Structure 1
Amino acid sequence: MTTTQITLGEPLYGASFPQAVSRFFRKYATFSGRASRSEYWWWVLANVLVALAFNLVGSLTDPQWTSRPIDVFSPFASGGAFALASPVGVVFLIYATGILIPALALTWRRLHDADRSGAWFFIVLVPLIGALVLLVFTLLSARPAGARFDE
């Protein structure tokens, strides 16, 4: 039985949850190459779980937490000085800042796998429709032409 070894430079189709999380951190600021749908969506799930855990710990340790919980899908959108009001919030802000670049890089690579320029990420700046367009792009199947973005 032979197994093909997938390098970090290639997308890992059918990635498992641990593989996707590992690759997320191992390719911390790599904007070139491609990322499979499984790599991308397993990381999204991992990140949602982390944010939910922060919300749970925050609600158990800070009576004011429920008035300013962390927005799971847009942690920086909670606004104000919520993070500075609680130690849990400060730790979450550090976490969110630490994953900002690799999350952008992963999305950039996911767009490449769908044969789109990573610059399409900035469509999220278009109110209302931008996030929906980016969601659709991240859901698209891999396209062979996306190999042009490989290293």
Structure 2
Amino acid sequence: MNWYLKVLKQYAVFQGRARRKEYWMFILFNLIVSFVLGFIDGVIGTFDAEIGLGLLSGVYALAIFIPSLAVLVRRLHDTGRSGWWIFISLIPLIGLIVLLVFLVQDSNPEDNIYGSNPKAVAA
């Protein structure tokens, strides 16, 4: 939960670096919240099958879009890449695989142009 809140506190911070653990814990918690909200939408009848979203899950998706993008850019920075690498995902299938490989890679152990190593700061 702390990793999720840390990302939300850095709502629109695109500078710096994000550890692999920070990114993936945010994604995990985000999926859990989305699933729960989707279930609640189905129970209370606000789920629209035509668009595949409910009222609560749609509002949550809009609210979490900027923090998700920011932590993704910071994660790419941690691997020594520019945030512009997000656009590789526009290439069908291969782009998403390449981006996933970038996201699961370990941090650069030394400082880079995006900041100091967050693992060294946390230790």
TM-score (ref. length: structure 1): 0.69
Distance 1:128 1:146 in 2: 32
- Alignment correspondent of 2:29: 46
**Correspondence 1:56 to 2:60:** no
Contact 1:34 1:112 in 2 (8 A): yes
Which residue, out of 67, 75, 87, partners 1:122? 87
Match of 1:10 in 2: none
Closer/same/farther in 2, CA of residues 31 and 49 from structure 1, 3 Å limit: same
Please state how far the C-alpha of 1:145 moved relative to its aligned partner.
Answer: 5.0
- Give the root-mean-square deviation of aligned CA atoms: 2.1
The runs of at least 4 aligned residues of structure 1 exceeding 6 Å deviation read: none
> Any unmatched runs of 5+ in structure 2?
117-123
Q: Percent identity at matched positions? A: 37
In 1, the alpha carbon distance for the partners of 2:6 and 2:75 equals: 13
Q: How many residues are treated as equivalent by the alignment?
A: 116
Could you give the per-residue CA deviations for residues 44-73 of structure 1, whole angstroms, max 9, x where no partner exists? 0011101110222133233x95x83xxxxx
The AA in structure 2 aligned to 1:29 is A
Q: Retained in 2: the 8 A contact 1:40–1:110? A: yes
Residues 1:112 and 2:77 aligned together: yes
Aligned: 1:132 with 2:97? yes
Larger radius of gyration: 1
Unaligned runs of 5+ in 1: 1-17, 69-79, 84-88
Measured against aligned partners, the alpha-carbon deviations of 1:80-125 in whole angstroms (never above 9, x if no partner) come to 5444xxxxx1222111111111101100000000111111011111
Q: Confirm whether residue 21 of structure 1 aligns to residue 7 of structure 2.
A: no
For 2:114 and 2:3, the matched residues in 1 are separated by: 20
CA offsets per residue over residues 3-47 of structure 1, 9 Å max, x none?
xxxxxxxxxxxxxxx221121111100111000001000000011
**Amino acid aligned to 1:19:** N
